[in-house]
Chain A
Amino acid sequence: MSLDAKIPTGPLEQKWDNHRFHTKLVNPANRRKFEIIVVGTGLAGASAAASLGEMGYNVKAFCLQDSPRRAHSIAAQGGINAAKNYPNDGDSVHRLFYDTIKGGDFRAREANVHRLAQVSNSIIDQCVAQGVPFGREYGGSLSNRSFGGAQVSRTFYSRGQTGQQLLLGAYGALMRQAASGQVKIFPRREMLDLVVVDGRARGIVCRNMVDGKIESHAGHAVLLCTGGYGNVFYLSTNAASCNVTATWRAHKRGAFFGNPCFTQIHPTCIPVAGAQQSKLTLMSESLRNDGRVWVPKTAGDNRSPSQIPESERDYYLERRYPSFGNLVPRDVASRAAKAVIDEKKGVGPTGLAVYLDFADSIKRLGADVIRERYGNLFDMYAHITAEDPYQTPMRIYPAVHYAMGGLWVDYNLMTTVPGLFCLGEANFSDHGANRLGASALMQGLADGYFVIPYTLGGYLASGGIPSVGADHAAFRDAEKAVEEQTRRLLAVQGRRTAADFHRQLGLLLWDKCGMARNEAGLKDLLSRIPGIREEFWQNVKVAGQKESFNQALERAGRVADFLEFAELLVRDALERRESCGGHFREEFQTPDNEARRDDKNFAHAAAWEYRGDGQDPMRHAEPLTFEAVSLAQRSYQ
């Protein structure tokens, strides 16, 4: 099978407009004849379900939380980018496009990224109209802040709760459709399989998490908006329920998986404190606007920060990257932290941390200004660590945060399974090998509000989709497979919990496939993961019953999928013999330790095809051609 990205012809700036004009439309009277299944109600899913409902499609929206308002988008803190150029500092659609392509280390598709930049302004308009309380200036206009990887101020924000406010906006739009009956909401449902009939996605099988019953839902198209797989590393900034199950099961039904090795390690998280720790907490990147990152110049210097004089501190980001300073992109900042920690200059009780110091800003601006900008983040930090960041520098450490990889999609956001679309973090499309701050919210909402309403219509209007109900035999088969897996999980009755296996897998991955990777380590992982998986199926212990509320069973199912997916992630990391963005292969670096890309051999997206259990997956490549930008060694110096 060959990959066709369906990139429209014509000049980059006109591709999206031309494509919208040439895409077939479904007339309003016909839209109500279509049933659309949307899985996930984060920014991408809620905005898609609401917009499609408004257009007159019959939508069923599924989420595993108790309410669609709780998806993990809600945790995004810092902001959302747009090319409004309100500060008059030189921003434009083209600059946002360029920064995003460059930030992604030239591993994203130009046409998609340009479209993202083009619709970014409409997103802000939409959210303001919904009543999202963005930060404002005294004159009443919208306020902007700077974020990593950009030299303009283009980030809109609602204090440190931007994701929450944007999601509540989309949730409101969704509930309006729910009230009108256009969207039916199914909370506490976990998608466990995709149903494909005659080569097209025709529905899902899910588990009702309250009573454990397996349900089938049929439709004319399925949209997966199920977020990222960062939790494969066990410890991450992701919410507990974030998982790979929906996309992984779709992968096993024919959807290619794009660039699974592109994972983002976020530089500013609260360091790990103990072995029982269940999650890592992010401190928004916006803190780097006013905080200075440093470590002691001498290895092993364990004086308290206040005793280390200015001359004995190494502000290593400012030193190494004078023009971007503390605002270098996330991958660069994380790697720089790792470098000083490897030199034993790390701070705090574990030595696995660097300082993020606000003393200068507090002196310059006063504590009140800092409190106004970051008050809730400072409180959160103080609460978790029992230290006061107004008095003493924060300690931060990189942590897994975001998945750039995801299901491969074409320009229409359709996967390699016709009728199966994938939106938001769950797809692989716009961020290449590294995502810039404040771009995840932008992409989720772009996909849901402004892309899928057009491209889904194009698919439906092209015809040839016979009616298929949930009584079709393919649904019975999928239900049986799901029941069988549940039965097996409960039947093992071994001696280790699913969480225990998850922890084991995650630590291994973090160690050998985290901030830095090399061939020997990756090969070692590939030889060990199958053994862990095998032991899982012989020795896992899942308590409780099938047909009941059973969180142990939910967890075990997700861990089982992580154990399969992890192998693909590692394989992808091994095959990509270059360093780019968040994928740092130690063998491929410049003399000053920056990522060295190999554009001759790897200027492509990898898309993996599943070929059956026990078979090696097949790697396909979608060549990336760059017309509007010239490939350059990324430099933030």
Chain B
Amino acid sequence: MSGDMRFTLKVWRQKNAAEMGRFEIYEAKGVSPDMSLFEMLDAVNEDLILKGEDPIAFDHDCREGICGTCGSVINGQPHGPETGTTTCQVFMRLFKAGDTITIEPFRAKAFPVVKDLIVDRSAFDRIIAAGGYVSVGTGAAPEANTLPVPKEKSELAMDAAACIGCGACVAACPNAAAMLFVGAKISHLGLLPQGQPERDRRSIALRRAMDREGFGNCTNHAECEAACPKEIKMRNIARFNRDYLKASFLSEE
């Protein structure tokens, strides 16, 4: 079921981190409404390869909205115009035939461009390494039902744990803050009894790691919440702030 829609694509091309980037124009033909944006880009890339040109580099893996690998800014919005969606789940039925679609990478100081639409998000890994976990070695766990967890709490923890680490929150934020990403991790673990022993330490360590990586500050624009493909809520940031303040007051360092 190949379609007959055409689009003009304005795509950011950049060879590597060192070189300057620019927009290039491509035509996409034979697009059907059931195709995903990535399937359209696949087709454009096939043509580019056959012409001996460098295909458009973009990150993707699961193509079902769960791995967090993909991420581009589509028509000015991280992950595109729909809410609660990753870039890989943008389908062409969303656009009008003939539209011009602008595709560019997530832009943030802490996410340098690797190539074209691909950015380096390893800052997120370093933040988690600073303490975004429960320190329990393999084999040291008590029986699973030892600690009851109220269902409401575990559901709230799951809401926060659903973060896929894509970085759209950072890309959407005018300050390129990582507060929603970090707040989600703080909430996920802070809501569970297993996360309590390290709760104070964690909020301080993650806050410091975030600053070290060059992310900006939250000034309550709420763009992150709007862009989040997993619809993680701003109240996780509030929880993070509370935990951090409390921990700093109590801190003996």
Partner of A276, one of B32, B49, B55, B63: B32
**Central interface residue in A133, A161, A179, by most chain B CB within 10 Å:** A133
B38 — which chain A residues lie within 8 A by C-beta? 278
B125 — which chain A residues lie within 8 A by C-beta? 67-69, 175, 178, 185, 187
Q: Cβ of B66 and Cβ of A161 under 8 Å apart? A: yes
For A187, the closest partner residue in chain B by CB is B122
Partner of A173, one of B89, B138, B192: B138
- A443 to B54 Cα, complex, angstroms: 41
**Central interface residue in A137, A179, A185, A275, by most chain B CB within 10 Å:** A179
Q: A541-B49, A549-B57 are in contact. Are A74 and B128 (CB under 8 A)?
A: no
Q: Cβ of B39 and Cβ of A130 under 8 Å apart? A: no
For B30, the closest partner residue in chain A by CB is A276
Q: A140-B151, A276-B43, A453-B138 are in contact. Are A171 and B128 (CB under 8 A)?
A: yes
**A380 interface contact, C-beta 8 A:** yes
**B250 interface contact, C-beta 8 A:** no
**A281 interface contact, C-beta 8 A:** yes
A137 — which chain B residues lie within 8 A by C-beta? 151
Determine how close the nearest CB of chain A comes to the CB of B244; give it in whole angstroms: 19
Q: Enumerate B75-130 residues with CB–CB distance to A below 8 Å.
A: 84-85, 89, 91, 93, 114-115, 118, 120-122, 124-125, 128-130
B136 — which chain A residues lie within 8 A by C-beta? 126, 129-130, 173
Determine how close the nearest CB of chain A comes to the CB of B204; give it in whole angstroms: 15
**A548 interface contact, C-beta 8 A:** yes
Partner of B138, one of A126, A159, A495: A126
Name the prevailing secondary structure of the B interface residues.
loop
Partner of B35, one of A84, A276, A495: A276
- A185 to B124 Cα, complex, angstroms: 14
Q: Cβ of A128 and Cβ of B194 under 8 Å apart? A: yes
Q: Give a binary string over B181-197; 1 marks a CB under 8 Å from any A CB, 0 the rest.
A: 00000001100101100
**A614 interface contact, C-beta 8 A:** no
Q: Cβ of B144 and Cβ of A278 under 8 Å apart? A: no
For B61, the closest partner residue in chain A by CB is A239
- A165 to B145 Cα, complex, angstroms: 18
Partner of B148, one of A47, A141, A276: A141
- A349 to B32 Cα, complex, angstroms: 15
Determine how close the nearest CB of chain A comes to the CB of B157; give it in whole angstroms: 4
**A632 interface contact, C-beta 8 A:** no
Q: Give a binary string over A159-191; 1 marks a CB under 8 Å from any B CB, 0 the rest.
A: 101001100100111011011000001010000
Q: Cβ of B151 and Cβ of A136 under 8 Å apart? A: yes
Q: Enumerate A99-149 residues with CB–CB distance to B below 8 Å.
A: 121-122, 124-131, 133-142
Q: Cβ of B138 and Cβ of A51 under 8 Å apart? A: yes
A386 — which chain B residues lie within 8 A by C-beta? 91, 93
**B252 interface contact, C-beta 8 A:** no
B59 — which chain A residues lie within 8 A by C-beta? 66
**A362 interface contact, C-beta 8 A:** no
Determine how close the nearest CB of chain A comes to the CB of B33; give it in whole angstroms: 8
Q: Cβ of B42 and Cβ of A66 under 8 Å apart? A: no
Determine how close the nearest CB of chain A comes to the CB of B234; give it in whole angstroms: 20
The number of chain A residues with a CB under 8 A from chain B is 85
Q: Enumerate A263-293 residues with CB–CB distance to B below 8 Å.
A: 273-279, 281-282
**B216 interface contact, C-beta 8 A:** no
Partner of B69, one of A66, A142, A379: A66
- A168 to B157 Cα, complex, angstroms: 13
Q: Cβ of A72 and Cβ of B138 under 8 Å apart? A: no
- A84 to B144 Cα, complex, angstroms: 9
* Stretch among B5-13, B158-166, B172-180, B235-243 lining the A interface: B158-166
- A274 to B31 Cα, complex, angstroms: 11
**B2 interface contact, C-beta 8 A:** yes
A86 — which chain B residues lie within 8 A by C-beta? 145
B64 — which chain A residues lie within 8 A by C-beta? 75, 279, 281-282, 380
Q: Cβ of A173 and Cβ of B68 under 8 Å apart? A: no
A11 — which chain B residues lie within 8 A by C-beta? none
- A355 to B3 Cα, complex, angstroms: 26
**Central interface residue in A74, A176, A449, by most chain B CB within 10 Å:** A176
Determine how close the nearest CB of chain B comes to the CB of A58; give it in whole angstroms: 17
Q: Cβ of B65 and Cβ of A276 under 8 Å apart? A: no
Q: Cβ of B114 and Cβ of A176 under 8 Å apart? A: no
Q: Cβ of B61 and Cβ of A65 under 8 Å apart? A: yes
Q: Cβ of B67 and Cβ of A175 under 8 Å apart? A: no
Q: Cβ of A125 and Cβ of B144 under 8 Å apart? A: yes
Q: Cβ of A75 and Cβ of B67 under 8 Å apart? A: yes
Q: Cβ of A544 and Cβ of B55 under 8 Å apart? A: yes
**A384 interface contact, C-beta 8 A:** yes
**A240 interface contact, C-beta 8 A:** yes
Q: Enumerate A343-398 residues with CB–CB distance to B below 8 Å.
A: 349, 379-380, 383-384, 386
Partner of A549, one of B2, B16, B52, B188: B16
Q: Cβ of A131 and Cβ of B67 under 8 Å apart? A: no
Besides A84-B144, A158-B161, A450-B138, 13 more A-B contacts (Cβ < 8 Å) are: A69-B68, A70-B67, A72-B67, A75-B66, A126-B138, A136-B151, A139-B148, A164-B66, A176-B133, A176-B135, A240-B60, A544-B55, A548-B15
Q: Which 3 A-B pairs have the closest CB atoms?
A: A140-B148, A172-B133, A129-B141
A and B contact pairs by CB, cutoff 8 A, 26 listed: A54-B137, A66-B59, A70-B69, A121-B144, A124-B144, A127-B144, A130-B134, A131-B157, A136-B154, A140-B148, A142-B145, A159-B162, A172-B133, A179-B130, A185-B125, A239-B62, A240-B61, A274-B2, A279-B64, A383-B85, A449-B139, A450-B139, A453-B138, A497-B46, A497-B49, A541-B50
